[in-house]
Chain A
């Protein structure tokens, strides 16, 4: 599904990713772990198409098509979803309008009919209850005045509604209490099928107590230094990132 080959990325004059190779197939959950500043968030953002990152070398393809030249919305409508590390507040834009516009854009890109307001309200109600998001929040502007946990639940709500083929979670676990962490874990597990895939970017192993990854990759200084199965995350938790650094 996702194929990354020899990816070199910079922002301004700073080289951040220095030759990433990664292959994610349908039905898989991959965890990208690494210390601060190793390039984890850059990798997540560059897949979603954040404009300020420059691809110096290599390429990213999704379902066998290169997406390097696609805008973020075109990538999203192909089925790529990024749950933000810091979801952005959008004052004055009502949650319902935002989510419906987003859902309709996806349907439209697939030449499908937009949802009616009634249909949309019904789906929104069901998913909000599943995620445990307070219905009062749905009446507010997007993320405005939401707590850290509420913002992350909102990301999970959008993910559940958009049903992406590839979900990328950029440090979704950071700053979360145990309950919210559990919600994120449950959301990912619930949405995981043989047809889709998840890429979890995280600093800590704790989210992986709820989600068992197919593969774990350790990113150090812009390169994947080690890959393994779920056990690798546990080893890291015990031995720290210095252990990987000492191996390289």
Chain B
């Protein structure tokens, strides 16, 4: 227990930790997560592993964070509306410092097509789904951040898209870290179960208003049943001192389709882990991502795709824009198992370097045990083209505007992959705001 107290200063005062949840699976995960954390400790001890080779997370281990039990008074008007209202008709759930904020939450229009419930407020039907699914995709023993998240599960969220339903607008989840006089730690937990033949879009946003080195450790588990499709948009806007270590685990089944778009910016250390299991034949995933680093930011995108069956298809396309003295890591590992014949897999990571002091470690890799597959991978890192800058300036466009246009142009190839026009506009707007 001392090990935990070293990192979380007010653990005794957090009431929910001493209370059993009405959901047996949650009690089990909390207890396993806590045991695992006590046994393995914080990342300081694991930073020499291959998995963390390019990301030093010792600074996180050295901090002491506070847990939050209730939402303190804050003014909702201080929230940046542009980050919330990307679509006036969007169904949204807002979590402030890890807990549902009812004032900003509105899911009225979709309640018939799906089941949305927080873990603290779930009925027997939700409990059953949580008991059957929560924690199935994570590995508490081997992943310390999934373990910590599980140890501190509180007001998690279940989204269950019902069989053969098509949800037209996106469901927006916004996790906000407020600015307090202490370093707070939050552990958002989301379980998404898309039933057979359903179609939906979910936007998951993490925004920090804190100027403290706060810690945010979200875990999102997604189970796509046969023929289900999900567009998952994820964005992270943190402060330059913040820590964001996210785990997204996805199980993709027969003829189901997972389409993701990830946008990260800011933060002292960000790690986005994304693991996709292509379990059944004809499953498909398409992962697009954009990361913008500045100052001394560090952003690490760590992707694993496991092709476990025939005729599965995956595509990874990420781009990075690196400024100042920032650092980015891209690690994409695609595993094609022996019986996953006719797999098609591509991955690409391209980086635009805007300063000689940036550093990129990019490592796309393929591990293939089947013999009838089509796979390819590549990575690039390049500076701004001098010719492009001269061409634009020779048209009267000043240096700063030319740079902005080139950055936005570089990002456009990723942004244009977003199928929904309103969501594409939302991301373009954040991009303009963040890249200039």
Q: Which A residues are closer than 8 A to B by beta carbons?
A: 48-52, 71-73, 75-77, 81-82, 84, 87-88, 90-93, 97-98, 101-102, 105-106, 109, 141, 158, 162
Contact = CB atoms under 8 A, between A and B. Distances in A.
A101 B413 contact: no
A-B pairs, top 9 by smallest CB distance, nearest first, are: A92-B409, A92-B412, A72-B393, A76-B396, A102-B395, A93-B409, A88-B391, A105-B396, A73-B393
- Among B394, B397, B399, B408: residue with most chain A CB under 10 A: B394
Contacts of B398: 71, 73, 105
B80 interface: no
Contacts of A77: 396
B421 to A, nearest CB: 15
A121 B394 CA distance: 22
B401 interface: yes
B38 interface: no
A101 B390 contact: no
A101 B386 contact: no
B396 A92 contact: no
A233 to B, nearest CB: 27
A101 B397 contact: yes
Contacts, number: 81
A81 B397 CA distance: 12
Given A71-B393, A88-B388, A102-B397, 8 more contacts: A48-B394, A72-B394, A73-B393, A76-B393, A77-B396, A90-B406, A93-B409, A102-B396
Interface string B357-400: 00000000000000000000000000001111011111111110
6 contacts: A72-B393, A90-B388, A90-B392, A90-B405, A90-B406, A92-B410
A63 B406 CA distance: 32
A90 B391 contact: yes
Contact of B386 (A52, A71, A92, A141): A52
A76 B388 CA distance: 15
A81 B395 CA distance: 7
A72 B390 contact: yes
Contacts of A91: 409-410, 412-413
Given A90-B409, A91-B409, A93-B409, A76 B394 contact: yes
Nearest to B410: A92
A181 B92 CA distance: 58
B411 interface: yes
Contacts of B396: 73, 76-77, 102, 105-106, 109, 162
Contacts of B399: 71, 73
Interface in B94-127: none
B401 A92 contact: no
A93 B405 contact: yes
Interface of B: 385-388, 390-399, 401-402, 405-406, 408-413
A101 B402 CA distance: 10
Given A72-B390, A76-B394, A90-B391, A101 B409 contact: no
Contacts of A109: 396
B156 to A, nearest CB: 39
A52 B412 CA distance: 29
A158 B402 CA distance: 17
A76 B409 contact: no
B394 A82 contact: yes
A97 to B, nearest CB: 7
B17 to A, nearest CB: 49
A92 B392 contact: no
B405 A98 contact: yes
Contacts of B393: 49, 71-73, 76
A77 B401 CA distance: 15
B405 A101 contact: yes
Which of A48, A52, A92, A141 has the most C-beta atoms of chain B within 10 angstroms of its own C-beta? A92
Contacts of A73: 393-399, 402
Nearest to A84: B391
Nearest to A89: B388
Contacts of B388: 88, 90
A28 to B, nearest CB: 22
B405 A76 contact: no
Nearest to A79: B396
A95 B413 CA distance: 15
Contacts of A90: 388, 391-392, 405-406, 409
Contacts of B409: 90-93, 141
B387 A97 contact: no
Contacts of B391: 84, 87-88, 90
A49 B394 contact: yes
Nearest to A81: B394
Given A73-B399, A105-B397, A158-B395, A92 B408 contact: yes
Contacts of B406: 90, 93
A178 B388 CA distance: 28
